[in-house]
Copies of this chain bind each other. A is one copy, B any other.
Amino acid sequence: MNTYSIGEVAKMLDISISTLRYYDKEGLLNSVERTAGGIRIFKDKDINQLNMVECLKNTGMQLKDIRTFFEWCEEGDSTIPQRYQMFLNRRKDIEKQIEVLQNSLDLVNYKCEYYALAAKEGTVNTPKLQFLKNRAVKSSDYVKHVVGEN
Contact = CB atoms under 8 A, between A and B. Distances in A.
A123 B119 CA distance: 61
A73 B150 contact: yes
A43 interface: no
Interface of A is mostly: helix
Interface residues of A, number: 50
A87 B112 contact: yes
A88 B101 contact: no
Interface string A125-150: 10000000000000000000110111
Nearest 10 pairs of A and B residues by beta carbon = A84-B115, A73-B150, A48-B148, A87-B111, A51-B146, A94-B105, A77-B123, A59-B104, A87-B112, A55-B146
19 contacts: A45-B149, A48-B146, A56-B104, A59-B104, A69-B150, A73-B150, A77-B123, A80-B119, A83-B150, A84-B115, A84-B119, A87-B108, A87-B112, A87-B115, A90-B108, A91-B108, A91-B112, A94-B104, A98-B98
